[in-house]
């Protein structure tokens, strides 16, 4: 019974996620990726965090380290795209090129006792 209940709960959670993706489209996918991306980058950079001491012998050595980190992130993005079918770079570009939505007008201040209230249409 416990296994069935857990399976039903997981299936319901997946249905709710699918509904959210259908309703919110790219925004839902972007939200999910934004939550996961730090973990992906952390795993990609994990080998470099284990370096205790680094001795650079050539003048190209220091720049090679930053290129390695950049390449790991780029490969992670490519892996994410090939495994999920979502191109994060294109998705982010789509969001950055959208026109900003105008902010709603501020709500009027609440009336205090004895203050006349204007009622509009």
Q: Is 77 part of a structural domain of the chain? A: yes
Q: Is 102 part of a structural domain of the chain? A: no
- Per-residue burial over 85-97, b if 16 or more Cβ lie within 10 Å, else e, is eeebeebeeeeee
Q: What is the pLDDT of residues 35-70, one digit of tens each?
A: 877 887 788 778 878 888 877 676 666 677 777 778
- Per-residue burial over 7-21, b if 16 or more Cβ lie within 10 Å, else e, is eeeeeeeeeeeeeee
Q: Is 36 part of a structural domain of the chain? A: yes
Mean pLDDT value across the chain: 74
Type and span of the H or E element at 16: helix 2-24
Q: Is 34 part of a structural domain of the chain? A: yes
Q: Is 99 part of a structural domain of the chain? A: no
pLDDT reading at 15 higher than 70:
yes
Q: What is the pLDDT of residues 74-86, one digit of tens each?
A: 887 787 777 777 7
Domain holding 39, by residue range, is 2-50+65-87
Q: Is 110 part of a structural domain of the chain? A: no
d(CA 54, CA 66): 13
Q: Is 98 part of a structural domain of the chain? A: no
Q: How many helices (H) and strands (E) does the chain have?
A: 4, 0
Domain count, the chain: 1
């Amino acid at each position: 019974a416990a296994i069935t209940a857990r399976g039903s709960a997981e299936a319901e959670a997946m249905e709710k996620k699918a509904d959210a993706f259908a309703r919110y489209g790219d925004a839902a996918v972007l939200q999910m990726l934004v939550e996961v991306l730090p973990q992906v980058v952390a795993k990609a950079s994990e080998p470099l965090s284990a370096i205790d001491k680094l001795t650079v012998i050539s003048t190209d050595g220091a720049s090679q380290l930053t290129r390695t980190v950049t390449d790991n992130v780029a490969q992670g993005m490519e892996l994410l795209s090939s495994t999920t079918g979502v191109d994060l770079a294109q998705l982010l570009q789509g969001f950055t090129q959208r026109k900003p939505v105008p902010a709603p007008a501020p709500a009027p201040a609440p009336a205090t006792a004895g203050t006349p209230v204007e009622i509009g249409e």
